[in-house]
Amino acid sequence: MPVDDLGTPVEIGQPPRRVVSLVPSLTEAIAQSARECLVGATDWCTHPTDLDVTRVRGTKNPNLRAVADLSPDLVVVNKEENRELDVRRMRERGVPVWVTDIEDVPSALTSMRRLFTEALRREVPGWLERADVLWGTPAPASRGRVVVPIWRDPWMVVGPRTYTTDLLARLGWTNAFAEADADPQGRYPHVELARIDRDDVDLVLLPDEPYEFTTVDGPEAFGRAPTRLISGRLLTWYGPAMVEAHETLSRD
């Protein structure tokens, strides 16, 4: 019996034909490489844009009755994005749940490979093979210090031990909030704007999720550090977005 990323055995009798994904990046990955088996996804699963499946609310508040009504052979979730309580309740209903655990680029590549080969029982997708090659190359010379806000009022930033921090490091960027002593509040600390907008920060990346920074909402707050709007998908989504992230961000 295969075990998920947390070491929990998951009974999967046959290659799953009905899969529900409660993680946007996993939804994109499955839709691109095994769309015929995907029957449900969250309201936040925006890629691919033409995905036509039943929506089951959000990652933190899925409609578990709607999930069960889809009679899934497998539900795929993520340790950070989904609640353990929901995983437990689905399993109590007899629904097989596969939990992914991703904190950096290598674990993302490994987790995605296991998802396809062990849980979905499919061949390794071409985009994953490409991602393995791209992210296996040495990091370039240092490009400077970067900060990635994920919310404002109050301001929150990406901190240490995160997929985003590792991804940026592999592109040559140092997260100014990656050091443990700079992050007493955990992986996504609340900080004052003055700690972000300072002379020793070379770039502030303003993503469009979870907070949607725009040309008129975000850059105007900074007077010292330069800013750049960026797709949050490139910074936080594992799956096919990993290829696009490397090809786009490594040349900018």
- End-to-end Cα distance, the chain: 44
Say if domain 19-102 classifies as CATH 3.30.9.10.
no
- How much is the average pLDDT of 232-237? 96
Residue 180 has pLDDT above 70, yes or no: no
* Closest to 148 measured CA to CA, from 199, 103, 101, 211: 211
Q: How many Cα atoms sit within 13 Å of 133 on the Cβ side? A: 7
> Per residue in 105-143, pLDDT tens?
999 999 999 999 999 999 999 999 999 999 998 888 889
- How much is the average pLDDT of 194-214? 97
DSSP letters spanning 9-29: B----SS-SSEEE-SHHHHHH
CATH architecture of 144-249: 3-Layer(aba) Sandwich (3.40)
Give the count of beta carbons closer than 10 Å to the beta carbon of residue 16: 24
Angle at 70 between CA 11 and CA 6, to 5 degrees: 35
pLDDT at 49: 94
Q: Do domains 19-102 and 144-249 have the same CATH topology?
A: yes
By DSSP bridging, strand 227-230 and strand 38-41 are unpaired
Residue 139 backbone class (left: φ over 0; alpha: ψ -120 to 50; beta: rest) = beta
Domain boundaries, the chain: 19-102, 144-249
Assess contact for 52 and 66: CB atoms under 8 A: no
DSSP letters spanning 160-174: SS-HHHHHHHTTTEE
Assess contact for 211 and 85: CB atoms under 8 A: no
pTM of the model: 0.92
> Per residue in 1-58, pLDDT tens?
899 999 999 999 889 999 999 999 999 999 999 999 999 999 999 999 999 999 999 9
